[in-house]
Chain A
């Protein structure tokens, strides 16, 4: 078994447990709402239209959008918004099948139930529900398969799931991880589906033993998978062990729990691991919350849900401060820091030393052929198409660049950032809005076009701390060695290790740490 595959297996217990916990909780809550609601609807048909209509409407909202919408609604990231979205999503099949199943019970049989002396409740429990059970269970089955699949999309709102394999694998071009996540979630859906099918046929054929066996299997599978999540975390202890054997003075952050956030792309994974290493050396217990959506990470920070993460001045300037005017690199850094502290109590500890800006990139061959040197020169190309991450084309700087260089007629092709470098290399698009620290710029022989109008703002990497974390002297002291320590070349090489050489983000972080002289070893006195 390759090291990569072994690495994926080692993450499985935690991610599977988190995934199952999410699925089981959402299904339980969904069933607890839908089944009684279905019974009410069967009793009073006036309720049926609105209830089924509501559930159907939820179903038409794209799953990812529904998950993302829950974050502002509940005002936090993590398990809760994912749980709520999945619960809503699971309702339609269960509600619809409960309504249809109960309505399908023969009227003569319901009348017979009254005639033998049953109360309405007895008729429901002894006659109508048993007769509708196969249809109702089929609805539970559908909901289960849907929710297992949809739970993989919970990763960007900060809930761990098997989707972590897929999202981080996609960003780091680790196709083994992507495939692993897909297969694991498909197998899980299949296993649960088969158990529910056995339960359903046991109920339909009135084999109580078979039905009970399947139900027990279903419960056991869920419990076994969830168990690691419910047991006290024993795996996050290595830092404490390390500290215990250290002979020097007690580490400054001993016992402190620190949550490091990150957005879903390679550089962020590498930086998150780098920071985690520094903090663990100081004795902290670090928890990583990677794969947070761009603005979700910031929202989590101001609510103290994560302690720190790395953002970029231009992102804060445009997406958080909603400014669309230009500013020089240093001026922007100063104003961003002041604004963050003033408006949100967020501490901008300082710049890491490199910029990860957007830059228009073309192949060297295309640049030479059409003598492209500046963004304005792109107008020489017929039917110009530009690829970029979906976020970029929604930002003010795209509007600014478009208007400054007359790119109005350009076809924009939003795509995942992982794919855009290959797309320009292979000629699928003429230019891309590259990240200037991406290792693939050198590797694919791309050139960055000049921006004489200064339309693209600076993107200095800055270390942001939540209001609580910013007040922690020991923590800020431990992090300070990172400031100004990472030159652009080192960052680009670390990114290339992951994106081009298939190394893990941890390995790239270790390389970066030794490169900038803050290696995992405790500093010599």
Chain B
């Protein structure tokens, strides 16, 4: 069963198409990476999946049912979402932020507390930060709280919009592997948006390349690298190699 299925979904803002005729599906336990230039419609696509934005046309199936079948708030409690802008509640502590969806689902306090501790550990924030307010954290620490919050209610689907953007390379690497490990165990599906082609290739079972609201190519990373649909896709996918080359050149220059 597909966890998410979009069929010919379109969305325009003030007459300007942001997403045009997009179709794809995400299977249980699968990870799909959305890549593409800034403004190509990645965030809009992601927000349509948990109905923060309603599509103008097309069809959206969630967990095998039409998305409109259940009230949106109930659906969203089964879907973790990490915002590009992080979006923590500034008036709640770290622990309260992480525990919010479980609280809405009516979990008891002890279960929420245990869950919060496990997640803080996973995102490498000491339990001492439980009572901190978001304003007292660094940008990277806030992003980790946002990731923990999205995972808190053991969702069936995780939507991540540049969730690792503000992290240092070492933490990013650790968090990615941890995420893969929990996913292997819990079996949730992931749709993630990233500008980092290496990240898309490492995490994604499939990569969707978008341009001006349309899907250019939808394929496994190896397939995409071997047979890019056009020059644009080839150029985009070569980005990590160009960076590595530039980095090597810089090292030689200093060495």
**B52 close to A114 (CB less than 8 A):** yes
CA distance A425 to B234 in the complex (A): 101
The residue from B77, B87, B133 contacting A112, defined by CB atoms under 8 A apart: B87
Q: Say if the beta carbon of B229 comes within 8 Å of chain A.
A: no
| 9 shortest interchain CB distances as A-B pairs | A112-B87, A117-B77, A117-B76, A115-B81, A108-B85, A108-B87, A119-B73, A116-B101, A130-B91
Q: How far is the CA of A454 from the CA of B89 in the complex (A)?
A: 80
Residue in B closest to A112 when the chains form the complex, CB atoms: B87
Bits for A63-80, please: 1 = Cβ < 8 Å to B, else 0. 000000000000000000
Residues of A near B104 (CB, < 8 A) are: 116-118, 122
Are B89 and A127 neighbours in the complex by a CB distance under 8 Å? yes
A91 CB → nearest B CB, Å? 27
Interface residues in B63-103 (C-beta closer than 8 Å to A): 72-77, 81, 83, 85-91, 100-101
A115 touches B89 (CB 8 A): no
A468 cross-chain contacts in B, Cβ below 8 A = none
Q: Which residues of A contact B87 (CB under 8 A)?
A: 108-109, 111-112, 115
B50 within 8 A of A: yes
Contact A116 B76 (CB under 8 A): yes
Do A109 and B90 have beta carbons less than 8 Å apart?
yes
Residues of A close to B74: CB separation below 8 A: 117
Closest A residue, CB atoms, query B81: A115
**Which residues of B are in contact with A by a Cβ distance under 8 Å?**
50, 52, 72-77, 81, 83, 85-91, 100-101, 104-105, 133, 149, 153
Taking CB atoms, residues of chain A closer than 8 Å to B88 are 109, 112
CB distance from A115 to the nearest CB of B (A): 4
Chain A nearest Cβ from B162, distance in angstroms: 14
Contact (Cβ within 8 A) A115 B90:
no
Minimal Cβ-Cβ distance residue in B for A120: B73
Give A82-128 interface residues, CB cut-off 8 Å to B: 106, 108-109, 111-119, 122, 127
A108 & B83 in contact (Cβ 8 Å cutoff): yes
Report yes or no: A116 in contact with B90, Cβ–Cβ below 8 A: no
Instruction: Check if A206 is an interface residue, CB within 8 A of chain B.
Output: yes
Neighbour of B52 across the interface among A115, A119, A130, A206, CB < 8 A: A115
Contact partners of A153 in chain B: CB under 8 A: none
Bound-complex Cα distance A118 to B77 (A):
8
Does the CB pair A116–B77 fall under 8 Å? yes
- What are 21 pairs between A and B in contact, CB < 8 Å? A108-B86, A109-B87, A109-B88, A109-B89, A111-B52, A111-B83, A112-B87, A112-B88, A113-B89, A115-B52, A115-B81, A115-B87, A116-B81, A116-B100, A117-B75, A117-B76, A117-B101, A118-B104, A122-B104, A130-B91, A206-B133
Query: How many residue pairs at the A-B interface have CB separations less than 8 Å?
Result: 55
Residues in chain B near residue A113, CB distance under 8 A: 89
With A108-B83, A108-B85, A112-B83 already in contact, the answer to whether A118 and B91 are too (CB < 8 A) is: no
- Please, which residue of chain A has its CB at the minimum distance from the CB of B87? A112
Contacts of B52 in A (CB 8 A): 111, 114-115
Contact partners of A131 in chain B: CB under 8 A: 90-91
In the docked arrangement, what's the CA distance between A122 and B149, Å? 17
A405 CA to B52 CA in the complex, in Å?
A: 81
* Chain A residues near B149 (CB-CB < 8 A): 116
CB distance from A50 to the nearest CB of B (A): 27
For the complex formed, measure the closest distance between the CB of B85 and the CB atoms of chain A, giving whole angstroms. Answer: 4
Closest residue of B by beta carbon distance from A133: B91
The minimal Cβ–Cβ distance linking B53 to chain A, given in whole angstroms, is 10
Chain A residues, Cβ within 8 Å of B85: 108
Chain B residues in 8 Å Cβ range of A119: 73
Within 8 A of B (CB), among A293-325: none
Specify which chain A residues have a CB less than 8 angstroms from the CB of B105 in the assembled complex.
117
Which residues on B sit within 8 Å (CB–CB) of A116?
76-77, 81, 100-101, 104, 149
* A-B contact sample (16 more), CB < 8 A, given A111-B83, A115-B83, A117-B74: A108-B87, A109-B88, A109-B89, A114-B52, A114-B73, A115-B52, A116-B76, A116-B81, A117-B73, A117-B75, A117-B77, A117-B104, A118-B73, A127-B91, A130-B91, A206-B91
Interface string of A177-221 (1 = CB under 8 A from B): 000000000000000000000000000001000000000000000
Q: Beyond A108-B85, A122-B104, is A115–B91 a contact (Cβ under 8 Å)?
A: no
Roughly how many angstroms separate A109 CA and B87 CA in the complex, as a whole number?
A: 5
Distance (whole angstroms) from the CB of A502 to the closest CB of chain B = 58
A285 to chain B, nearest CB (A): 56
A131 to B105, CA, bound (A): 23
Residue of B nearest to A117 (CB): B77
Q: How far is the CA of A206 from the CA of B131 in the complex (A)?
A: 12
Of chain B, the residue at the smallest CB distance from A206 is: B91
Instruction: Report A226-266 residues with CB < 8 Å from chain B CB.
Output: none
Instruction: List B contacts of A108 (CB < 8 A).
Output: 83, 85-87
Shortest Cβ gap from A291 to chain B (Å): 48
Q: How far apart are the CA atoms of A191 and B12 in the complex, in Å?
A: 55
Please give the distance in Å from B65's CB to the nearest CB on chain A.
17
Distance from B163 Cβ to chain A, minimum over Cβ atoms (Å): 13
Write the chain A residue with the least CB distance to B77.
A117
Q: How far is the CB of B43 from chain A (nearest CB, A)?
A: 11
